[in-house]
Chain A
Amino acid sequence: MSIEQGDRALPQAAGGAVAVRPRLDWPDEPRLAQRNPVSAWLRFFASEIRLVFGRPRNLALLGVLGFVPVFFGVVFRLTISSVDGGGGPPFLNQLAGNGVFLALVVLTVMLTVLLLPLSAAVVSGDAIAGEAALGTLRGLLTVPAGRTRLLAVKYAAIVVFSLAACLLVAAMSLVMGLILFHVGQVTLLSGTTVSLGAGVLRVLAVAVFAAAAMASLSAIGLAASTLTQHPVGAIAGVLIVTVASEICDQVPQLSAIHAYLPTHYWLSWDGLFRSPTDWSGVEHGLVSFAVYAVIFGSIAWAKLTSADVSS
């Protein structure tokens, strides 16, 4: 076991420098060089998805999100017959006429009362800070997972979680609407009527739009997550940003900056319920979401790829 033993020395290349060559006496190593990067990405992504969707806390979040439409459905069913609309969130008036609108009411409420933003904040704020707090971040980096690769996989999984959350809310709302209210052809805001199928498709489009909004908020959460080792701090930061943005959006004196606020376009999908469809709100929203995702994604990348990991 001494240094002199030549057989223990590293393999040497002709030039005398150390050649890092996998040992060939291990059955799996000869294939090392030909490993497919795409399948490696998919494997890591699948593992991240399992981790995000396997966390007891995240499952509890999804459980709450799935229950809220049931709750609202029952409440509206009981109150609408007596109060008959009047005020309340948009689309509430249409609810008695068509259960499909339950999904729109519930999505609107859940975006404004922070339920969907909360789930996005929890999953994104936890992404890096949670790994740092557990100490698993150093394990992943020494594997090596690669810092950029880790961040990309994390963000992809967060986007999938946001999409799953919004689609779950929409689907549960549609089911409850079907059970509790009259369902039939959908009368749009512009007065025209489309088939039930077309109405449901528009509702799903709204859910995807809401998921895009949550994905952009998640980019802010991911950036916050690289700046701290305390996941709760990152989560709180995202919620503070959300609330502050929503308040600013209500202050008329700040109208000059309204269009630049991260939450400004969250509800700008009502054009989808007009005929002909008015895409301008959706388009502005998607551009705003993309800009936020790029800016905060870059911050997260710059921070994580240069940070000392000493947790």
Chain B
Amino acid sequence: MSLSAQLAGAIHASTETDAGFAVTSSGLSKRFGGGQLAVDQIDLAVPAGSVYGFLGPNGSGKTTTIRMLLGLIRPTAGSHAMLGLPMPGRQADALPLVGSLVEGPAFYPHLSGRANLTRLDAADATADAATARRRIDAALARVGLLGAADKRYKAYSLGMKQRLGIATSLLRPRQLVILDEPTNGLDPQGTREVRALIRQIAADGTTVFVSSHLLAEVEQVCTHVGVMRAGRLVYQGSLAQLRGQAGLLVRTPKPELAAQVLAELGLAGIRQGDGADQEVTAELGAMLPEVICERLVLAGVPVAGLETPRRSLEDEFVELTGEGFDVD
């Protein structure tokens, strides 16, 4: 965990000078009226152009964070900026460039999908009425709803509602799209389509900030992840970094000697397997396995086997967020 904390710190430290972040926050916190600390001093750094997976179990504070980012609720401490503009001071300038879907779709039930989008577009002081029809149809087409555009919203299926919610974030070209659990209620096919849509949005150069409580759902599209647990941001970094923390496993009849060599090489987390299984494990770090093997052999350690097992992302994620089913 110390490594991820370091990484988060390093990323955040550079935000003051580096303009390449779509969202930054420092010490952002929210304590609700009941006294509950829903979000606890998080320092977000969402690189521009990234697809940032915002992960965490139920109740970990994802939606609360997104509400604060969008200016819907006031942080009780800390500050944040979107697209380099301080919020909420410059929200009138920032929000038109940010598309969002917060906590599920919400629309007028008696209006059609198209009429609902028209309503939202009309509320946008900076949207052009002359192009509204074309933009709305384009957004509907992108989420595959053009065929059901004139159906009343209350007649939509759960998946269609979710798609319409995503369509609102596509009414205009955006620099940042924030999607809160966009795959909620979608069938596997729909989930795949949302992933494809996210890829497509990102390919246009838009930063995508997508929350989910399932790593597997966003793993394939994310370039970066932030992991929430009980209101704290417990990990933030690129997916490659999260994935890249490989281990080292050496099988040898002389585990003590092997451990000694590994220690000389400066590897961390060295552990000798107990008793019968003659294994030594350590964290690989930046060391190359072939170099380690050579050193072991030179030091007279008979190497029966050497592996660099990569922990699955799922394991990594579960370690970060806890195993428990209960909400903490």
Contact = CB atoms under 8 A, between A and B. Distances in A.
B211 interface: no
Contacts of B93: 20
B72 A141 contact: yes
8 closest A-B pairs by beta carbon, nearest first, are A8-B49, A18-B84, A135-B106, A47-B122, A145-B123, A308-B73, A3-B47, A144-B95
**Which residue among B17, B51, B103, B125 has the maximum number of chain A CB atoms within 10 Å of its CB?**
B125
Nearest to A34: B128
A27 interface: yes
Interface of B: 17, 19-20, 22, 47-51, 64, 67, 70-74, 83-85, 91-98, 100, 102-104, 106-111, 118-120, 122-131, 135, 168, 172-173, 175, 202, 205, 207, 223-224, 238
Interface stretch (A9-17, A173-181, A252-260, A282-290): A9-17
Contacts of A230: none
Contacts of A55: 110
Interface in A29-52: 29, 31-32, 35, 37, 39-41, 43-44, 46-47, 51
Interface of A: 1-3, 5, 7-10, 12, 16-20, 22-23, 25-29, 31-32, 35, 37, 39-41, 43-44, 46-47, 51, 54-56, 134-136, 138-146, 149-150, 306, 308-310
A3 B172 CA distance: 24
B84 to A, nearest CB: 3
B223 A9 contact: no
Contact of A46 (B73, B102, B106, B122): B122
Nearest to A13: B19
B106 A138 contact: yes
A54 B108 CA distance: 11
A50 to B, nearest CB: 8
Contacts of A135: 103-104, 106
Contact of A1 (B50, B84, B109, B122): B50
Contact of A51 (B72, B91, B119): B119
**Which residue among B71, B72, B131 has the maximum number of chain A CB atoms within 10 Å of its CB?**
B72
Given A32-B128, A309-B72, A140 B120 contact: yes
Contact of B85 (A20, A51, A149, A150): A20
Given A10-B19, A27-B131, A32 B104 contact: no
B51 A18 contact: no
12 contacts: A2-B223, A8-B49, A9-B20, A9-B49, A12-B19, A20-B175, A26-B172, A44-B125, A46-B122, A139-B107, A141-B70, A142-B100
A134 B154 CA distance: 12
A20 B123 contact: no
Nearest to B178: A142
Contacts of A29: 173
B72 A43 contact: no
